[in-house]
């Protein structure tokens, strides 16, 4: 066990952005806010979903998206993490996975500037909203197939991205796999964010008995989409420890590691999970999504 593992707390910095169509500008904005987070004492810094590019048009997306192996933005962020000696969690980047599909991919970068974990968003946001907005994430992005828990000096962190938030079994599985912290970088729409964002994040924290770190996009973006913002840090007891507004900013929270064991001892629900079958009243087996 390292000295860092013996720490009783650490500071989280969540970067809230309003990313647009200009990748270089988005990366400059992200870098400035990451520096602000580091100067404020954050050892772990998280940026929101699609940090490098907020775009819906397929032609524009594929014109500027780069593969991971040649991604200048990822190299810049890795160099910045090394310079600042922080754990940098890039909430996600638009990555060219093939000629036909992109990946909505998160990266965890160590203070040595090394990528230690990757996660591709599993659940695709395909929806027709009441206000007339239409989203077909699956038209451009290849969904991930693996949930990921990675090691931080203070404990395991489970990955997710935005729409994943609506699938509670993912977070329960991450907690059982050793996560003490759950990451939910996002670009929630204003409409759904106003209705559900805080409630869902608190619920995931309570259910999984983990800290939740959720850096968000916020504001009116160049392509016309409006996102909710309100980046959040939530405790395993469901308390909101820090909350952002709508505009680009950094929010901070000090994470008391003792709270995880305390909450899990007071309500030991993670130890009480049981396997069961779901059946119809007539005795026939029901189909249940896993």
In whole angstroms, what is the distance from residue 192 CA to residue 163 CA? 11
For the stretch 253-273, pLDDT in tens is 999 999 999 999 999 999 999
pLDDT given at position 6? 60
Confidence of residue 130 (pLDDT cuts 50, 70, 90): confident
Q: Where are the alpha helices (DSSP H) in the chain?
A: 23-39, 58-64, 72-84, 137-140, 168-176, 190-192, 198-208, 258-266
pLDDT given at position 150? 98
Specify if 248 maps to a domain: yes
Task: Express as a percent the part of the chain with pLDDT over 70.
Answer: 97
- 162 in the Ramachandran plot: left (φ > 0), alpha (ψ -120 to 50) or beta? left
Q: What is the mean pLDDT of residues 276-281?
A: 90
Residues recognised as catalytic: 49, 121, 162
Token readout for 13 is: 């910095």
pLDDT given at position 1? 37
Better pLDDT: 289 or 244: 244
Q: What is the CATH number of the domain that holds 114?
A: 3.60.110.10
State yes or no: pLDDT of 154 exceeds 90.
Answer: yes
Token readout for 75 is: 């190299």
- Domain of 91, in residue numbers: 9-268
Beta pairing partners, 105: 93, 120
pLDDT given at position 289? 65
Domain count, the chain: 1
Token readout for 255 is: 């994470």
The helix/strand/coil state of 106 is strand
The chain-wide mean pLDDT, for the chain, equals: 95
Confidence of residue 227 (pLDDT cuts 50, 70, 90): very high
Q: Which residue has the tokens 């670009």?
A: 187
Confidence of residue 4 (pLDDT cuts 50, 70, 90): very low
Half-sphere CA count of 144, side-chain side, radius 13 A:
21
State yes or no: pLDDT of 287 exceeds 80.
Answer: no
Lateral strand order in the sheet of 87-96: 115-120, 102-109, 87-96, 44-46, 9-16, 249-256
Handedness of CA 133, 138, 140, 145 (dihedral sign): positive
Q: Which of 260, 189, 237, 272 is nearest to 9 (CA)?
A: 260
In whole angstroms, what is the distance from residue 156 CA to residue 125 CA? 27
- The angle subtended at Cα 253 by Cα 238 and Cα 195, nearest 5°, is 45
Specify if 230 maps to a domain: yes
Q: What is the mean pLDDT of residues 155-162?
A: 98
For the stretch 49-90, pLDDT in tens is 999 999 989 999 999 999 999 999 999 999 999 999 999 999
- 279 in the Ramachandran plot: left (φ > 0), alpha (ψ -120 to 50) or beta? beta
Task: Express as a percent the part of the chain with pLDDT over 90.
Answer: 88
Q: Which of 140, 27, 40, 42 is nearest to 88 (CA)?
A: 42
Specify if 36 maps to a domain: yes
Specify if 252 maps to a domain: yes
Better pLDDT: 239 or 131: 239
Q: What is the mean pLDDT of residues 218-243?
A: 96
pLDDT given at position 160? 98
Specify if 280 maps to a domain: no
pLDDT given at position 133? 75
Specify if 285 maps to a domain: no
Specify if 279 maps to a domain: no
Q: What is the mean pLDDT of residues 244-259?
A: 98
Specify if 4 maps to a domain: no
Q: Which residues contact 40 (CB under 8 A, 6 or more apart)?
A: 11, 13, 250, 252
In whole angstroms, what is the distance from residue 103 CA to residue 85 CA? 27
């Amino acid at each position: 066990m390292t000295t860092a593992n013996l720490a009783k707390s650490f500071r989280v910095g969540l970067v809230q952005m309003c990313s647009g169509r200009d990748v270089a500008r988005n990366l400059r904005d992200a870098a400035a806010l990451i520096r602000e987070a580091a100067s404020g004492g954050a050892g772990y810094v998280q940026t929101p979903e699609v940090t490098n590019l907020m775009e819906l048009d397929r032609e524009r997306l594929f014109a500027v998206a780069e593969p991971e192996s040649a991604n200048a933005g990822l190299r810049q962020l890795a160099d910045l993490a090394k310079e600042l000696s922080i754990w940098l969690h890039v909430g996600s980047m638009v990555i060219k996975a093939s000629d036909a599909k992109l990946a909505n991919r998160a990266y965890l970068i160590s203070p040595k500037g090394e990528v230690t974990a990757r996660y591709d968003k599993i659940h695709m946001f395909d929806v027709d909203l009441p206000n007339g907005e239409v989203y077909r994430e699956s038209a451009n992005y290849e969904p991930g197939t693996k949930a990921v828990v990675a090691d931080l000096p203070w404990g395991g962190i489970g990955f997710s991205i935005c729409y994943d938030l609506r699938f509670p079994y993912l977070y329960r599985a991450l907690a059982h796999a050793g996560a003490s912290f759950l990451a939910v970088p996002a670009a929630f729409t204003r409409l759904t964010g106003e209705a559900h964002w805080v409630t869902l994040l608190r619920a995931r924290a309570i259910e999984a008995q983990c800290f939740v770190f959720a850096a968000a996009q916020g504001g009116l973006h160049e392509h016309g989409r409006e996102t909710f913002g309100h980046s959040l840090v939530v405790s395993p007891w469901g308390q909101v420890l820090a909350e952002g507004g709508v505009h680009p900013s950094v929010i901070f929270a000090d994470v008391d590691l003792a709270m995880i064991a305390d909450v899990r001892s007071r309500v030991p629900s993670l130890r009480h999970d049981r396997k069961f079958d779901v059946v119809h009243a007539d005795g026939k087996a029901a189909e249940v999504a896993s």
